[in-house]
Structure 1
Amino acid sequence: MSDGVHEHQHELARRIDRYSNKDGVHSTAIPSLFLIRESVVTEPIFRVNEPSFCIVVQGQKEVLLGQDRFRYGPGSYIVATVDLPVSGQVIQASSQTPYLALKLEFTSREILEVLNHSDFPARPHKTTRRAMFVSQAEPSLLDAVVRLARLLEDHSEDIPLLAPLFKKEILYKVLKGPHGIALEQATMEGSHTYRIRDVIKYIMNHADQNFRIEELAVLANMSAASLHRHFKEVTAMSPIQFQKQLRLQEARRLLLSQSTDAAEVAFQVGYESPSQFSREYSRMFGLPPREDIKRLRGMDQ
């Protein structure tokens, strides 16, 4: 690691530590920028990962997408190009050396704006890429991230003008990187990833409803076989597996937030069989619904 990269890492760690005095995800004065701190190794957290760029400056984390595992640590970043149901776990952290990360959410419109004002060489879009990737941050990318983070320190009057510029620079550097084509594909109308993104939105908005693969194929303007293949290439899951993850994540959230039994929640999220729901819940979270929720509530006390 060069001296410049080491200095950037150290400065980012110091700034994140300063503005996140307790564990968790912290919003900032910069829209779409979040600071993350964890002082202990965590158990897997299940959630939908929105399109975002996340760089780690201290500790390590592992994200599971379908059967794909992404591990990243200091100086590396992870990008999700579409909404994806994942589980994430901090695997290296301590009170003396907490896990520290910076997360920047973005929209397709912001990516398109960068692409429209850049002179990227033509790149082939026939090969569908996974909608999540890990890469090592180049010094110039780290420099842009540091300049964005510096705005948090008594520069609130500069944020409206400079934060969008630094954000565009970060996205530009990611697009130029070795996996940038995956990010580009998610925003290019007509690409397979772009069409799969529309299917993902439909499934997320109708997760509690049953569907046939042929219906999704019409939405994507693909054959059923082509949709199934490209959907799995993008998300590491079939459409049914994707929907199942959404349903079970929502079921867990409802069980934690409401005094409702598992059978009622199963029907709310779209299951017709409580026994099937219990089996699939146990397979995903490691325990039947009642035992899992009891354990989680006990951890919060």
Structure 2
Amino acid sequence: MSRTGEHPAAPLHGLSIQELRTALANRIAWFIGSSERLITQIPEVMLVRRTAPSPPCTGTYTPSVIVVAQGSKRVDLGQTTLVYDQSSFLLTSIDLPIVSQVVEASEAKPLLAMAIKLEMPVVRELLSREEVRVHDTFSDSPAMVTGAITAELLGACCRLVDLLATPQDVPYLSGLIQREIVYRLLCGPEGARLRAIATSGDQCHRTARAISWIRNNYAKPVRVDDLAEIAGMGVSTLHHHFRVLTHMSPLQYQKQLRLQAARGRMLIDGLDASTVAFEVGYESVSQFNREYSRFFGQPPMRDIKTLREGQSAEMSAA
């Protein structure tokens, strides 16, 4: 990691929204240096830097907010595409399997972003306060949305990153600033879905219980009747709310989790396709191969070979 000059802790008061974007970009660039990712000393905060557009990449987004200070990304949730950049943040309220890619980034102007994991107990504690007024939920809004960046949100993000320059302050101040960020999100139009998922008894909260069960038990057979019982809902009601939140059916959601887990096991642990197929819950290797090829664009072992060659090329260029 290379850094030049002093930490850019310029005063934030009175800055325009564009100046705040620049301030956040400068802070991220200074702390991350030449790395692509930095797991910071601040709990649940990660900084990201990319210097070129990327091919589509599968993954699972956990409840979090991603703020882009420079560049842009896109994420596909089911058949829905969301693009977020320096004018918008991405808010995810439940675990969601997605396909993402960097759209705008270069050596001269890299993508610079920060991701903050959201803790549901903090969300619920803030919702219990009368001063927090949340917009009504749109009935058809998914659990992943984009929202307009505000000066207040950017200012809080800058102050959170600034704590990396004074590690002794992190245990005392990071939680306060993260609570402020959650407050800003809840008070905006996009916070309604986050509130619904965090609120016990709400249909979204009940559906999230079924989603969490699949996430933790993706290798097990799934019966929609059992999921409906876990959620305390009727089968048709669960199906409706599941599709609204995830833009997928329960079986499609499970399939994506299985395939992503299989890819990771083959790439990282060196398992063969036949072994990993049964590990992630498939009863037929041929079915696993078909679904893997359809989702990732090529058969398992060829896909893993392509990924490893790409990793080798990146390491050689570094």
Which category of TM-score, normalised to the shorter sequence, fits these structures?
Answer: over 0.9
The residue type equivalent to 1:189 in the other structure is S
Is 2:240 the partner of 1:229? yes
**Deviation, structure 1 residue 25:** 2.3
1:35-69 per-position Cα deviation (integer Å, ceiling 9, x unaligned): 00011111122111111011001111001111111
Distance 2:133 2:159 in 1: 28
Alpha-carbon distance in 2 for matches of 1:118, 1:64: 36
TM-score by length of 1: 0.95
Q: 2:48: which partner in 1?
A: 36
Counterpart in the other structure of 1:81:
93
Is the Cα contact below 8 Å between 2:209 and 2:231 reproduced in 1?
yes
1-structure distance, mates of 2:130, 2:304: 49
In the other structure, the counterpart of 1:279 is: 290
**Aligned-partner residue type, residue 7 of structure 1:** E
Amino acid at match of 1:15: R
Gaps of 5+ in 1: none
For 1:239, which of 245, 250, 258 is the aligned residue?
A: 250
Equivalent in the alignment of 1:4: 16
More displaced 10-residue stretch of structure 1: 232-241 or 125-134: 125-134
**Structure 2 CA distance for partners of 1:4 and 1:160, relative to 1, 3 Å:** same
Paired with 1:158 and 1:264, the residues of 2 have a C-alpha distance of 48
1:280-299 correspondence to structure 2 within 5 Å: 280-299=291-310
Q: Which runs of 4+ in 1 moved over 4 A?
A: 121-126
Query: Among 89, 110, 117, which residue is 1:105 paired with?
Result: 117
- Asked whether 1:71 is paired with 2:101, we answer no
Q: How does 1:161-180 map to 2 (within 5 A)?
A: 161-180=172-191
Shift of 1:178: 1.3
- Picking from 73, 77, 94, the partner of 1:61 is 73
Bigger mean CA deviation after superposition, 84-93 or 255-264: 255-264
- Rounded Cα–Cα distance in structure 1 between residues aligned with 2:199 and 2:298: 41
1:23 touches 1:39 (CA, 8 Å); kept in 2? no
Measured after TM superposition, the shift of residue 23 of structure 1 is 4.2
Among 195, 200, 203, the residue aligned to 1:189 = 200
If the length of structure 2 is used for normalisation, what is the TM-score?
Answer: 0.90
How many aligned positions are there?
299
Distance 2:131 2:198 in 1: 16
Is 1:213 the counterpart of 2:203? The answer is no
Contact (CA 8 Å) 1:250, 1:269: kept in 2 or not? yes
Alignment match, 2:171: 160
The corresponding residue for 2:105 is 93
* Range with greater deviation from structure 2 (35-44 or 14-23): 14-23
Note the aligned Cα RMSD (angstroms): 1.6
Q: State the percentage of identical aligned residues.
A: 37
Task: In structure 1, give the amino acid aligned to 2:178.
Answer: K
Q: CA deviation at 1:22?
A: 2.9
AA partner of residue 154 (structure 2): L
How far off is 1:119 after superposition? 2.0
Deviation, structure 1 residue 147: 1.3
Q: Distance in 2 between matches of 1:29 and 1:106?
A: 16
Change (3 A) 1:47 1:122: closer
